[in-house]
C-alpha cells in the first residue's frame, strides 16, 4: 500500500468520529431509562432468575406471573399475551452498561461517547480487513469511507441500549481477522483466539452469529486450500455457535409470541422462512438505497407492494454492480458474506441497525464498482447497458458518497428526535399526596408515554405509586359505570386498537373471549363484552376495595390540555 494510505485512512476515521458527535447530545431513549432503573434503583420487581447479570435484556422473560407484575406498573399493557417473551442473553453488554452506571450514571453524553469508541474500534478493524482483501489502496479507502460514513449506522451509535450490536461487530471482526490469519499463516494461537473472540461476540449480542457468514463465504471462495478443506475448517466455529445456542435455549432465552418483532427460527421455522423472504429485500434495499428499513417496520403491517418495490430496485441496482466485477473470485466472497451475514438479522423486524455486518460486504462491492467505472476498466457490450451502468454509478455516488455522510450526523442524533415524540408529561402527577401509597388507574395516556411512566420516575428519583394500571390508551367514546368495588368501562368501537397496541398480543392468534380475566395485584380486568370485530368493547374492573376508596386515584389524560383530569366515581 502507498504511504499516503495511512494518512487518508486516518482522515476518514476522523471524519466518521466527527460526524458521530451529535450523538453526545441525544440523551436517553426508551430502554435506556429502564437500564438506569435496573442498575441504580431498588425495584419492586426482581431481576429474572436467569443467566443474565442484571436482567437488562431479559426483563420480559415469558413468565406469566412476572408479566402480571410488569402490568401492575404499566411496564407492559394488561392485554399483553401472558407468555410474551423478549429475553436475550447479553452478559458482556450488561457489564459495559454496568460500568457506565458505576462511573457516570448522570452523564449520558459519556455513555454515547462509549458507543462511539466501540464504533471507531470496529472501523479500525474494517480498515484492516479492506486493506487485506481489496485489490488497491484506493478501493480499500473508498470502501472504508462508504462503510464508516454510512448513515444506516447512525441510529445504532445514537442509542445507548443498542451498544450490544457494536460490541458484536467489533468482536466479530476480530474473529474473522484471526480466522484468516490462522488459515493463511497457521498457528494454533490464532485459532484459539478467534474462537474466544467469537464467544465474546455471541455473549454481546445474538448478532454475533453474523460473522459466521463471512467465515463461510471465505471458506467457499477464498480459502487457498479449496472449499472442502475450507468448510471443514469452519467446524470449530460452528461448534462454538451450537454450544452457545444450546446453553442459550436451555436457559430459556429467546423471543416467543412476539411475531410483531421477532420470529424464533428454531421454534417457528416456517414462520421464519416466510418472514425472511419478506424482510430480506427490505433490509438490502435499505443498505443499497436511501429509504430506511425502519419505515417499513413502523408502518405496523406487512406491505407486500413495498417489499416487491424493494426487491425490484435491489435487483436493478445490483445487476451492473456485479457485472462489473463478477469474474473476480473475491466478489463472490463479499457478495455471499453480505448475504450470509444478514440471515440471523431476518429473525427481527427490519431496522437499519441490523445492517452493521451486511454493510461490510456491500461497501466492498460498491467501492470496487465505483472504482472500475471511474477508471473505465469495464466496457459494456451495448450502448443501452452502458447508459444503464452509468446511471447506476451516479445514483450510487449521490446516495452513498453525498447523502449518506450528510445524513450520518442526523441519524447519530435520531434517538433524540424519537424520544421527543414520547411525551414525558403523563409521568407527572400533580397534587397527589402520598403517591407512593396510591394505586393509579389511568385512562387515555399515549401508549408509549404510559409504558415509560415508572422508568421516567425512577430516573427523576420521584416516588413510585403503589400501582400504575393503564386501562386504555384510547380517548374517545369511553363510558363508565361504577358500583361497589366494580367499574364497567365501555367503548363501542372496542379496545386494543391498531398494530402498535396489538404488537404485544396477536389478536388473530390469541383473541380474547367473553368472561376472560386478567388478574393483577389487587385488580381483575374482565372481558365483559366483545363487539362485532371480536374486540373487547366492555371491561369490568373489579378492585379489592370499593371504587370510592381513597387508595385509588382515577385519572383521564386530556390530549388537548396536556394534563390529567381526576375522575370521581
**Which residues, listed in sequence order, are joined to residue 542 by a DSSP beta bridge?**
486, 524
Q: Report pLDDT for 326.
A: 84
Asked if 441 and 554 count as a contact pair (C-beta separation under 8 A), the reply is yes
Asked if 209 and 165 count as a contact pair (C-beta separation under 8 A), the reply is no
Q: How far apart are the first and last CA of the chain?
A: 79
What angle (nearest 5°) sits at the alpha carbon of residue 499, between those of residues 498 and 502?
Answer: 90
The C-alpha cell 464508516 sits at 148
Asked if 442 and 468 count as a contact pair (C-beta separation under 8 A), the reply is yes
Q: Report pLDDT for 500.
A: 86
**Which residues, listed in sequence order, are joined to residue 489 by a DSSP beta bridge?**
480, 539
- The pairing of strands 552-558 and 439-443 is parallel
Q: Report pLDDT for 300.
A: 56
Q: Report pLDDT for 318.
A: 94
Asked if 371 and 139 count as a contact pair (C-beta separation under 8 A), the reply is yes
- The pairing of strands 85-87 and 60-61 is antiparallel
Rounded CA separation 257/80 (Å):
10
pTM: 0.95
Asked if 562 and 542 count as a contact pair (C-beta separation under 8 A), the reply is no
Rounded CA separation 448/424 (Å):
9
Torsion angles phi and psi, residue 149, rounded to 5: -105, 25
**Which residues, listed in sequence order, are joined to residue 440 by a DSSP beta bridge?**
468, 553
Cell numbers at 352, concatenated: 437499519
The CA-atom distances, in angstroms, between 322 and each of 309, 318, 334, 344, 389 are 20, 6, 11, 24, 11
Nearest residue to 237 via CA among 274, 208, 277: 208
Nearest residue to 12 via CA among 114, 127, 117: 127
Asked if 212 and 241 count as a contact pair (C-beta separation under 8 A), the reply is yes
Asked if 306 and 285 count as a contact pair (C-beta separation under 8 A), the reply is no
Name the residue ranges covered by the structural domains of the chain.
Answer: 4-52+89-417, 425-567
DSSP 493-559: T-SS-STTGGGGS-TTTS---TT-EEE-SSEEEEEEEE-TTS-EEEEEEEESS-TT-TTEEEEEEET
The CA-atom distances, in angstroms, between 468 and each of 67, 494, 496, 535 are 14, 22, 18, 23
For residue 376, count CB atoms less than 10 angstroms from its CB and return exposed for 0-12, middle for 13-18, buried for 19 or more: exposed
For residue 181, count CB atoms less than 10 angstroms from its CB and return exposed for 0-12, middle for 13-18, buried for 19 or more: middle
Residues whose CB is less than 8 angstroms from the CB of residue 206 and which lie 6 or more positions away in sequence, other chains included: 88, 90, 168, 344, 347
**Which residues, listed in sequence order, are joined to residue 538 by a DSSP beta bridge?**
490, 529
Asked if 521 and 68 count as a contact pair (C-beta separation under 8 A), the reply is yes
Nearest residue to 84 via CA among 107, 60, 106, 104: 60
Rounded CA separation 495/526 (Å):
13
The CA-atom distances, in angstroms, between 25 and each of 117, 377, 417, 452 are 16, 45, 11, 21
DSSP 442-473: EES--HHHHHHHHHHHHHHTPPPPSEEEEEES
Asked if 341 and 359 count as a contact pair (C-beta separation under 8 A), the reply is no
pLDDT in tens, the chain (569 residues): 566 899 999 999 999 999 999 999 999 999 999 999 999 988 888 889 999 999 999 999 999 999 999 999 999 999 999 999 999 999 999 999 999 999 999 999 999 999 999 999 999 999 999 999 999 999 999 999 999 999 999 999 999 999 999 999 999 999 999 999 999 999 999 999 999 999 999 999 999 999 999 999 999 999 999 999 999 999 999 999 999 999 999 999 999 998 878 988 888 888 899 999 999 999 999 999 977 888 887 665 567 888 898 999 999 999 999 998 888 889 999 999 999 999 999 999 999 999 999 999 999 999 999 999 998 877 777 889 989 999 999 999 999 999 999 999 999 999 999 999 999 999 999 889 999 999 999 999 999 999 999 999 999 999 999 999 999 999 999 999 999 999 999 999 999 988 889 889 989 899 999 999 999 999 999 999 999 888 999 999 999 999 999 999 999 999 999 999 999 98
The CA-atom distances, in angstroms, between 293 and each of 288, 290, 316 are 11, 9, 18
Amino acid at each position: 500500500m502507498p504511504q499516503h494510505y495511512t494518512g487518508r485512512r486516518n482522515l476518514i476515521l476522523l471524519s466518521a468520529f466527527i460526524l458521530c458527535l451529535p450523538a453526545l447530545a441525544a440523551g436517553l431513549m426508551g430502554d435506556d431509562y429502564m437500564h438506569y432503573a435496573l442498575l441504580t434503583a431498588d425495584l419492586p420487581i426482581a431481576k429474572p432468575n436467569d443467566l443474565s447479570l442484571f436482567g437488562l435484556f431479559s426483563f420480559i422473560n415469558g413468565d406469566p406471573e412476572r408479566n402480571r407484575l410488569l402490568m401492575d406498573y404499566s411496564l407492559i399493557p394488561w392485554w399483553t399475551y401472558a407468555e410474551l417473551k423478549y429475553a436475550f442473553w447479553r452478559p458482556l453488554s450488561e457489564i459495559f452498561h454496568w460500568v457506565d452506571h458505576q462511573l457516570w450514571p448522570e452523564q449520558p453524553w459519556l455513555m454515547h461517547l462509549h458507543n462511539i469508541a466501540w464504533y471507531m474500534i470496529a472501523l479500525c478493524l474494517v480498515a484492516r480487513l479492506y486493506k487485506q482483501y481489496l485489490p488497491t489502496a484506493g478501493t480499500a479507502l473508498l470502501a472504508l469511507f462508504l462503510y464508516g460514513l454510512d448513515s444506516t449506522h447512525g441510529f445504532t451509535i445514537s442509542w445507548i441500549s443498542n451498544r450490544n450490536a457494536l460490541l458484536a461487530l467489533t468482536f466479530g471482526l476480530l474473529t474473522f481477522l484471526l480466522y484468516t490469519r490462522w488459515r493463511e499463516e497457521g498457528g494454533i494461537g490464532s485459532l484459539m483466539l478467534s474462537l474466544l473472540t467469537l464467544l465474546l461476540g455471541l455473549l454481546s449480542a445474538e448478532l454475533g452469529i453474523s460473522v459466521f457468514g463471512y467465515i463461510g463465504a471465505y471458506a467457499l471462495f477464498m480459502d487457498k486450500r479449496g472449499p472442502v478443506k475450507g468448510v471443514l475448517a469452519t467446524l470449530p466455529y460452528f461448534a462454538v455457535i451450537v454450544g452457545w445456542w444450546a446453553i442459550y435455549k436451555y436457559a430459556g432465552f429467546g423471543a416467543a409470541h412476539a411475531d410483531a418483532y421477532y420470529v424464533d427460527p428454531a421454534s417457528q421455522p416456517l414462520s421464519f422462512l416466510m418472514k425472511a423472504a419478506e424482510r430480506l429485500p427490505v433490509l438490502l434495499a435499505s443498505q443499497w438505497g436511501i429509504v430506511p428499513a425502519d419505515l417499513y417496520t413502523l408502518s405496523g403491517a406487512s406491505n407486500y407492494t413495498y417489499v416487491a418495490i424493494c426487491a425490484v430496485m435491489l435487483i436493478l441496482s445490483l445487476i451492473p454492480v456485479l457485472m462489473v466485477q463478477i469474474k473476480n473470485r473475491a466478489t463472490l466472497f463479499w457478495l455471499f458474506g453480505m448475504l450470509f451475514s444478514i440471515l440471523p438479522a431476518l429473525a427481527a423486524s427490519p431496522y437499519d441497525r441490523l445492517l452493521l455486518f451486511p454493510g461490510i460486504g456491500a461497501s466492498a462491492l460498491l467501492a470496487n464498482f465505483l472504482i472500475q467505472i471511474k477508471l473505465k476498466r469495464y466496457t459494456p457490450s451495448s450502448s443501452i447497458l452502458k447508459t444503464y451502468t452509468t446511471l447506476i454509478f451516479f445514483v450510487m455516488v449521490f446516495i452513498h458518497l453525498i447523502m449518506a455522510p450528510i445524513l450520518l450526523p442526523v441519524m447519530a442524533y435520531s434517538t433524540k428526535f424519537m424520544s421527543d415524540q414520547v411525551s414525558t408529561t403523563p409521568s407527572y402527577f400533580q397534587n397527589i399526596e402520598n403517591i407512593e401509597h396510591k394505586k393509579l388507574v389511568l385512562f387515555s395516556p399515549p401508549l408509549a408515554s404510559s409504558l415509560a411512566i415508572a422508568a421516567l420516575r425512577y430516573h427523576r428519583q420521584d416516588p413510585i405509586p403503589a400501582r400504575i394500571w393503564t386501562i386504555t390508551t384510547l380517548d374517545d367514546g369511553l363510558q363508565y359505570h361504577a358500583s361497589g368495588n366494580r367499574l364497567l368501562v365501555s367503548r363501542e368501537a372496542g379496545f386494543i386498537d391498531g398494530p402498535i397496541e396489538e404488537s404485544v398480543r396477536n389478536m388473530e392468534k390469541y383473541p380474547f373471549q367473553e368472561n376472560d380475566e386478567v388478574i393483577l395485584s389487587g385488580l381483575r380486568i374482565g372481558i365483559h363484552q366483545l363487539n362485532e370485530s371480536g374486540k373487547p368493547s366492555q371491561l369490568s374492573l373489579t378492585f379489592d376495595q370499593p371504587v370510592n376508596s381513597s387508595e385509588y386515584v382515577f385519572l383521564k389524560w386530556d390530549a388537548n390540555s396536556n394534563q390529567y383530569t381526576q375522575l370521581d366515581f
